[in-house]
Structure 1
Amino acid sequence: MLRRSGSSVSRCVLAAVVAATLAGGLAACSPSEPAEPRQEAATSSAPPSSAPEPSGPTYVADGSAADNLPLFTAVTAQVWSSESRNSGRAYVDALVGAGFDRAAMQVTQDATTVGNPVESLQFSVRWGETECLVGQVGPSTGEPVTAVMPQLAEGRCLVGTTRAIDW
């Protein structure tokens, strides 16, 4: 019986030590005074800027395709939520407006050979020598899909026939 009793006592002591350690550790995580805001206020000597901070992602001219994917995705979502969601030109124009190079773009047809809207519209921006930003929208995809993909042969981003971007 002493053994059981000792074993129970040992478990109780162990539980108490663990609880005390956790409580002490948690107390150490809680600052007693808000030191961070005071330090920031004391070290911040720059005058407030009158220029508004950019909201959302921005174009990074010297960045990678991955750096520019957030903007590419945001532009795609904006056009997708508009009345022009089925127009390849709308995606191209919006991407050009955001800073992307029209000469590096490809877009597929908006309509089938019988004049119906396509099930899937694709558009892309060639980035550097090896990557592409690729977007796909349409009823067959549901929500817009964007990705960074490797370039294909001859610097192309999309497979198959694309339309001329001549506007």
Structure 2
Amino acid sequence: MHTKRGATALGSRSNRRGLHRRGAVLAVIPVGLSLLLAACTAGPSAPSTSTAPTTSASSSATATPTPVASTLNPGGSAADNQAFFDSVNRALIASNPAAGGVEFTSNLRTNGFDIAAMQVTADTTTVGVAADSIQFSVHWGDDCLIGQYGQGQYESIVAPALGTGACLVGQTRAIDW
């Protein structure tokens, strides 16, 4: 078999050396990652010289869940009402996974939030396609409760209101229902 000058045949000595080098590098990567991960895990701790009582592993593994607010706290802050905001929105999602802006804002109003303090983004894009996610908010004092739902995922935050007094950036839709 003839090869062009300068080209290497598959079985040439220089090509085999290159393959061996690549194989050695590929073998080192998993070992290096294993060592790196082992260095990141907690090893045995030094004996404690403290006289404070310690908790056993079994008692710390069964932590008590934080109670969720079951009602709106009109005198509280946005942060005080975030758990209730989340529970109301998650309950809606559980009963209607296809919920949109009308459903979220109506559900929040039904549960005591002020509809006049809300904003919501459009359920569809400017070309008429369903939006990947929607955002909705309730202006609360100097802060905002902001929720986002899309592709089966729900998230919320408490954030300061914008300088304009709004909670959401960009175009929102009129809440006229």
TM-score by length of 1: 0.62
Partner of 1:160, secondary structure, is coil
Paired with 1:148 and 1:68, the residues of 2 have a C-alpha distance of 9
Q: 1:96 aligns with which of 103, 109, 112?
A: 109
Structure 1: gaps of 5 or more residues: 1-20, 27-54
Query: How far did 1:57 drift?
Result: 1.9
CA shift, 1:115, in A, is 2.4
For 1:113, the equivalent position in structure 2 comes to: 126
Distance 1:99 1:57, change over 3 A: same
**C-alpha contact (below 8 Å) 1:86/1:117 kept by paired residues:** no
Deviations along 1:116-139, one digit per CA (max 9) or x if unpaired, are: 2211100000001x2000000102
Q: Compared with structure 1, are the counterparts of its residues 56 and 148 closer, same or farther at alpha carbon in structure 2 (3 Å cutoff)?
A: closer
**Correspondence for 2:84:** 71
Aligned residues, how many?
115
**Which residue of the partner structure matches residue 147 of structure 2?**
135
Q: Identity percentage over the alignment?
A: 47
Correspondence 1:122-161 to 2 at 5 A: 122-128=135-141, 130-139=142-151, 142-161=152-171
Where do 5+ consecutive residues of structure 2 fail to align?
1-50, 55-67
Q: Secondary structure at the match of 2:109?
A: helix
- Greater RCO (Cα-Cα under 8 Å, separation 6 or more): 1
Task: Report the secondary structure of 2:157's partner residue.
Answer: strand
Structure (1/2) with the larger helix percentage: 1
CA distance in 1, matches of 2:95, 2:131: 17
TM-score normalized with structure 2 length: 0.59
